[in-house]
C-alpha cells in the first residue's frame, strides 16, 4: 500500500483528495495535517466523510513514515512546508508555487509540471509534481492537439466560467453567497495567473507560437465545475480537426470528444475532460468542461500519483458524474 500524508487538510481540495483516496485500492492515509484544526475530528470539517473517517483527527505534524505527501496549504506555503519534509518522500504540490520552470527547483527537488496529457512519461519518472491549475487544465486540453501539430498560427481567444469552490474555502467577497447567487462577473481579464503556465505548456510543444492569448475568466453562480470556450484560426475542416484531436488523446483515458454539445454536469464528480469541436468559417471553436476540484485539482493529483507509482492511470478514479 502507498502510505500518504496530506498537509493543509481543511480546504476544499484536501476534502476531495481525502474522499477519493479512502476509496483508492492501493493507498492508505497515514495522517492529515491542519494547523488551524489540530486535534479536531476530520468529519466535523469535511462533513461528507461522516461514517467513513469518524474517529480520525487532524494532526499537527506530518508522519515521517510515508511514501508521498500532497501539499494543499495554498499558494506561497509549499516552500515553507518542504523545509520539514524528508527528501526521500515524493511530493505532489497542488499550489502554483512550482508550476513555472523558473520556479521549479527547491533544494534537491526538481518539480515537473503535472499535466499527464502533456508529459505522461516524464511524470512517471519524477518524484516531485507541480499539479496544474484548474483553468489551465481545461484550456490546455482544448489547445494541445493543435500545438502538437504546429497548427497555432493566429491569436487564441478564450472565455471561461468557474464555480465558487475555485476561490477556496475561506470566505471572501468573491465567493460570498450574496455576490455569487443570481450573479456572474468577469475578473482578471487578460492577466489571470494561469495564463503563464498555459503559455509555457504551449511553447513546450510548439516553440514557434508567437501570437497572443486573450483570456476572459468569469465567476459563476454555481459551486463547482469549469466550462471554457476557445476559438482560433484553422485551415482544416471540422472532420480533419476532430481526427487530430482523437489521435492526440487516443492513449489518454480521461479526455473524451463529444459529437454533441456539452455541459458541466457531465463531468461533475469525475476526473474527465470532455471536448466539443465546432467549425464556423475559418474559426475552430473548442468547448471544454471539467470538475475544477477533481480533474482541475485532486483527481489529477491522484492521476499523477498513479503514474509515479506505476499503477494503472485510472486506478481509484473510475467515477460517475452526478448528472441530475
Q: ∠ CA 231-234-235 to the nearest 5 degrees?
A: 165
Dihedral angle at the C-alpha atoms of 95, 3, 118, 227, nearest 10 degrees? -60
* Dihedral sign computed on CA atoms, order 89, 77, 272, 194: negative
What whole-number distance in Å separates Cα of residue 254 and Cα of residue 263?
16
What whole-number distance in Å separates Cα of residue 68 and Cα of residue 91?
6
66 and 3 Cβ atoms separated by less than 8 Å: yes
Q: What are phi and psi of 245, to 5 degrees?
A: -70, -40
What whole-number distance in Å separates Cα of residue 223 and Cα of residue 227?
13
What whole-number distance in Å separates Cα of residue 60 and Cα of residue 73?
13
What whole-number distance in Å separates Cα of residue 137 and Cα of residue 300?
9
What whole-number distance in Å separates Cα of residue 92 and Cα of residue 83?
15
177 is written with which cell numbers?
A: 453567497
Alpha carbon of 237 to those of 57, 279, 282, 292: distances in Å?
56, 7, 9, 31
Q: Does residue 134 carry a catalytic annotation?
A: yes
Q: Which residue has the cell 466535523?
A: 44
Give the sheet arrangement for strand 255-258, strand by strand.
Answer: 185-186, 213-219, 156-162, 226-233, 283-290, 273-280, 255-258
- Kindly name the residue from 72, 134, 273, 315 that is annotated as catalytic: 134
Task: List residues with catalytic annotation.
Answer: 134
Amino acid at each position: 500500500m502507498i502510505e500518504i500524508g496530506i498537509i493543509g487538510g481543511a480546504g476544499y481540495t484536501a476534502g476531495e483528495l481525502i474522499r477519493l483516496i479512502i476509496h483508492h485500492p492501493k493507498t492508505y492515509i497515514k495522517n492529515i495535517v491542519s494547523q488551524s484544526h489540530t486535534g479536531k475530528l476530520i468529519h466535523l470539517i469535511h462533513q461528507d466523510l461522516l461514517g467513513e473517517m469518524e474517529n480520525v483527527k487532524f494532526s499537527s505534524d506530518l508522519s515521517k513514515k510515508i511514501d508521498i505527501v500532497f501539499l494543499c496549504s495554498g499558494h506561497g506555503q509549499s516552500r515553507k512546508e518542504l523545509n520539514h519534509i524528508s527528501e526521500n518522500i515524493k511530493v505532489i504540490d497542488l499550489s502554483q508555487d512550482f508550476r513555472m520552470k523558473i520556479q521549479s527547483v527547491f533544494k534537491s527537488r526538481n518539480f515537473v509540471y503535472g499535466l499527464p496529457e502533456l508529459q505522461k512519461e516524464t511524470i512517471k519518472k519524477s518524484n516531485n509534481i507541480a499539479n496544474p491549475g484548474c483553468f489551465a487544465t481545461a484550456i490546455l486540453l482544448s489547445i494541445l492537439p493543435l500545438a502538437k501539430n504546429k497548427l497555432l498560427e493566429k491569436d487564441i481567444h478564450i472565455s471561461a466560467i468557474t464555480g465558487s469552490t475555485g476561490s477556496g474555502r475561506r470566505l471572501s467577497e468573491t465567493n460570498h453567497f450574496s455576490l455569487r447567487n443570481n450573479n456572474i462577473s468577469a475578473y482578471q481579464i487578460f492577466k489571470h495567473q494561469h495564463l503563464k503556465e498555459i503559455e509555457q505548456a504551449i511553447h513546450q510543444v510548439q516553440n514557434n507560437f508567437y501570437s497572443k492569448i486573450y483570456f476572459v475568466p468569469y465567476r459563476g453562480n454555481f459551486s463547482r465545475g469549469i466550462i471554457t470556450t476557445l476559438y482560433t484560426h484553422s485551415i482544416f475542416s471540422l472532420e480533419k480537426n476532430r481526427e487530430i484531436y482523437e489521435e492526440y488523446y487516443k492513449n489518454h483515458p480521461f479526455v473524451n470528444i463529444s459529437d454533441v454539445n456539452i455541459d458541466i454536469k457531465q463531468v461533475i464528480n469525475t476526473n474527465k475532460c470532455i471536448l466539443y469541436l465546432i467549425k464556423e468559417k475559418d474559426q475552430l471553436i473548442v468547448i471544454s468542461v471539467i470538475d475544477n476540484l477533481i480533474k482541475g485539482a485532486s483527481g489529477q493529483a491522484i492521476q499523477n500519483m498513479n503514474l509515479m507509482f506505476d499503477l494503472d492511470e485510472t486506478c481509484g478514479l473510475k467515477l460517475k458524474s452526478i448528472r441530475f
